[in-house]
Homo-oligomer: A and B are copies of this chain.
């Protein structure tokens, strides 16, 4: 079973953590056969943290876990903290295959996504539009 784990920083603002969970849910909806499960984890403040999110996925039968850092910049969290925690998870679950993906800000498609959005004026996702007004 293949799973995707979206790792975000975590915010004191609960709505921001909710945005991450909604993103995971939306990706899961669209994943088709690509991922049996899409979960989220937080480095700080919110929960679950990476170790317990990974434990849950393994309990659910994950044999392959792709880890996606939901960060704009390649700062300490992306370069040091997340790789270190994934290395620990690899040591804990030697039979599970982990793959650390590039962070969001490093994806090639970001500039095209923005350009497309601002040029064609794609509407806001209704879920997030609701969040943005409170």
Instruction: Please give the residue numbers on chain A whose beta carbons come within 8 Å of chain B beta carbons, in ascending order.
Output: 4, 6, 8, 11, 13, 15-16, 19-20, 23, 26-27, 30-35, 66, 68, 70-76, 78-79, 101-119, 121-125, 128-129, 131-134
Q: With a CB–CB cut-off of 8 A, which chain B residues contact A74?
A: 15-16, 19, 128, 131-132
Question: A73, B19: Cβ atoms under 8 Å?
Answer: yes
- 27 inter-chain pairs at a CB distance below 8 angstroms, sorted by A residue, are A8-B72, A15-B74, A16-B75, A19-B72, A19-B74, A23-B114, A27-B115, A31-B115, A31-B119, A33-B121, A34-B119, A34-B121, A68-B114, A71-B72, A72-B72, A79-B132, A101-B117, A102-B128, A104-B114, A106-B124, A107-B114, A107-B122, A107-B124, A107-B132, A109-B113, A109-B133, A113-B113
Question: A34, B115: Cβ atoms under 8 Å?
Answer: yes
Contact among B66, B72, B122 with A118 in the assembled complex (CB-CB below 8 Å): B66
Total copies of the chain: 2
